[in-house]
Amino acid sequence: MNEQSLSVREAIIQRRSVKNFNGQPVERETLMTVLEDAKWAPNHGNREPWRVVAACGKELADLHTVLREFGVTKWKDLSEDELTKQMKKFTAPGAYAFVIVPEDVRQKERLEDYAAASAYIQNAQLLAWDLGIGSCWKTPPFLDAPKFREALGVKPGERIISMLQLGYFDEMPKARPRKEVDEFVTFFSSNN
């Protein structure tokens, strides 16, 4: 763990989505600490509407096989060398966390659960960043593929909302410009 943790503000402003992981594994204990602490995300009714399927260490090889077989179907016509090159973006992260939520038939609860799980994911990203671990929240189309869902043990009535890649990196990603606050905030006026 870091000797000195980042302030909340520093973590929010400094965190970047990492896409070029260096292949160094994330230790199980570290991943579990991140996922454990992330549970303090706000969630209506304290439902904690998330479930996580994680992979690090020895599970990564099995996950890579699943990703190759069921996930990335658009690569079926590639040569073995081309496929290996494309798979690098899936084999370089040192850990994965697939966040799964129930798909409540009631719209209000479904939206609340999605928002809560999104807060959980953001917490995990900030906590990982504080430990020097990068992350990238991805939502590739294969998350909804029946064989991929089956391989992860996703049940009917559940949805994978995130493939969270985590890992170490050698180069700090550049910050993309953000809008100025006055471009997206207006103050209430009864004259509107």
Q: Per the annotation, where are the binding residues for FMN?
A: 15-17, 44, 137-139
CA-closest candidate to residue 162, choices 72, 113, 94, 98: 98
Give the annotated binding-site residues.
15-17, 44, 137-139
Phi-psi region of 117 (alpha: psi -120 to 50; beta: other; left: phi over 0): alpha
DSSP state of 27: P
Is there a contact between 166 and 97 (Cβ–Cβ < 8 Å)? yes
CA-closest candidate to residue 55, choices 21, 98, 90, 117: 98
Amino acid code (one letter) for 169: F
Question: How are beta strands 51-56 and 95-102 bridged, if at all?
Answer: antiparallel
Q: Please, is 132 exposed, middle or buried when counting C-beta atoms within 10 Å of its C-beta (0-12, 13-18, 19+)?
A: exposed
